[in-house]
Amino acid sequence: MSPTPAPRPSRLRAPLALLALAGIGLAAGIARAEPLPAVVDKVLLQQPSVRSAQALLRAADAQITQARSDFLPSVGLSYRNADSRDETQGRPLDRNIRRSDASLRWNIFNGGADTARLQAGSLNRDAADADLDNVLEQVAFEITENYSDVVRLRQLQESLQATIARQERVEANVAHRVEAGRIASAELDLMRVRLIQNRALLGQLRAQLGTAEYRYRLLTGQPPENLVLPAIQPAEGDADIDTLVERIHERNPRLRAALQRTAARQAEIGVARGSFFPAVDLSYNKRLDNTTRPVPVSDTDRSGQLQVSLDIPLGGKNLGRHTEAVERHQAAQADADDLLLKVSKDITDLQRQYAEARLIAPMLEQRVAAAQRVSSAYELHFDAGRRSLNDLSIAQGDLFEAQRSLIENRAQQTTLQAQLLGFAGELREALRSRYRPAPIAPELLGTQYVSPALAAAPVPTVDAPPAPQVDVVSPPRPPADSADTSLKTRTEAWAAAWSAQAFDTYRAFYSADFQPGKGRSTADWEAERRQRISGARSPQIRLDGIKLRPRSMDRVSVRFTQHYSAAQYHDTVRKQLDWVKVDGQWKIAAETVLSPPRPPSPAPAASTSPQEP
């Protein structure tokens, strides 16, 4: 009998070296990992869809400027320089005329159409603002989803490579036994079939990963290097479906845009109604200069004329315009109602999926640990002749499926949570304040080699006395009455400073680094608010129904109904101010309009321009 050939160490060392290098590479990648919030902040405003939404917002601002210009008079200047040849009593006469005229025309009444047009423009601008917010949230979610997908596919690839390495070890062992004549060659074919299946699957994963990485480059403009599985810490209320639905209904950017456009269509009905009323125009014409050579027998050198004209519309065009405006408003309202139903359905579905994914996550980790012990034990049993090769192959496949379920569950949690936060318009803020990396341990991925004898060993138990009972004491909270009174007083003082047009006092209520959002800087926001507050004519701000909702020890949300009036413009909105404690003082960190302005009631005509809050 020929001597038994020794095992080929080269075929065993190669997989082990690959596993060791993979473990070192994973640890180094996590250490240099680029966090998801940094990626989002770098590329968010560079996306074409965001730049398009910003351009539409600027266009909506320009429409408001056009509507405001309708309240101002128009001035006209004319100059005539004419050379003519007249004939008087049969004699030719060359005449030269130099004449200058000025005119001033002002529409003093048109049925309130200009006021309604300005209101519609302001609401359309708010809708464009909400559209920009929606696009920003969608792009942030798209980046988050693609980031998580790249990490998921890389982890699946690493786990499958580790599975293939284990199968190659078994294949080498089986080949040795076949050569020694201890088992049939069909056993070696079985292992090769399983290896071919997994190598084909590995090729599919490589193709999917290449596509995901290419999409990541398109989105971010940078290579997908040093990525680590992201996670977002759940906030209070995320698990309560009723609270979550209420929050998303109030803050969903798409829904806010639809409601704003519905209100704008309501204002456009006012524009159409204004066309039923007579238009009253005031005009003044004055001749500035008149020089005619030779001087005619009679001509006007200086003149001034004041004229009031009344135009009464006739025909059915205005009636058709009014009918069109009413139907467009009904269509916009139906679209908003349909969107509300769709959002409610999507929220419920996503929240339940997210809750189930979080609930099953610990069990998936236990499944991986148990599958690892079974696979290692079956490998030892196969060596001892107590298990068949088919049993071992099935156990190794079950281990990879367990690891695959764990990896996909982690990625699914991140994607579902990001989608829910995007619905609420809170994803970008959550990435800044509640992000944390959550890599899966190499032991669970299988990329760190563990001896089968050690992995299959039972977990030791240690007898120990029961842990002492510890009473958990909640942190002290300030008296509710004093906090409520303080914040109610500060909210009313904020409105009083606005009414008094004291911009410096008004600005002091906000945090120094107040972020208005929508891609605007603090300086741009300050310049805009200064112009609007200082330019308003006799503004009055009245607050009703002030309610406080504590979020934490240092954060309280204050909701109220705001009634604004200035000159001819007035509206009513639901608003929320988020107050935070900064150096012991309450400051406004966020300001949100929860509902669009209600259509203003008819007001007497005036020649002055209304002011927007």
Report the C-alpha gap between 403 and 307 in whole angstroms.
86
Quick check: 602 pLDDT over 60? no
* pLDDT value of residue 15: 40
* pLDDT value of residue 519: 65
The sign of the CA dihedral 502, 504, 508, 512 is positive
> Which tops the pLDDT comparison, 548 or 21?
548
Describe the strand order of the beta sheet including 279-293 as a list of residue ranges.
Answer: 74-88, 91-109, 279-293, 303-311
> Average of pLDDT values for 409-423?
92
* pLDDT value of residue 412: 94
With a pLDDT cut of 70, the percent of the chain lying above it is 84
Report the C-alpha gap between 393 and 168 in whole angstroms.
11
- What tokens were used for 284? 């003044």
| Most confidently modeled range among 39-48, 195-204, 428-437, 451-460 | 195-204
> Average of pLDDT values for 400-425?
92
Quick check: 431 pLDDT over 50? yes
> Average of pLDDT values for 55-77?
91
> Average of pLDDT values for 443-456?
67
> Which tops the pLDDT comparison, 156 or 596?
156
Using CB atoms within 10 Å of the CB of residue 378, give its burial: 0 to 12 exposed, 13 to 18 middle, 19+ buried: buried
Quick check: 601 pLDDT over 90? no
Q: For the chain, count helices (H), then strands (E).
A: 15, 10
Q: pTM of the full predicted structure?
A: 0.65
Is 531 within 8 Å of 490 (Cβ atoms)?
A: no
> Which tops the pLDDT comparison, 599 or 307?
307
Is 14 within 8 Å of 169 (Cβ atoms)?
A: no
pLDDT band (50, 70, 90) for residue 448: low
**pLDDT tens-digit series, residues 122-151:** 999 999 999 999 999 999 999 999 999 999
* pLDDT value of residue 13: 43
Report the C-alpha gap between 613 and 611 in whole angstroms.
7
Report the C-alpha gap between 396 and 437 in whole angstroms.
29
* pLDDT value of residue 147: 93
* pLDDT value of residue 6: 44
Report the C-alpha gap between 304 and 429 in whole angstroms.
63
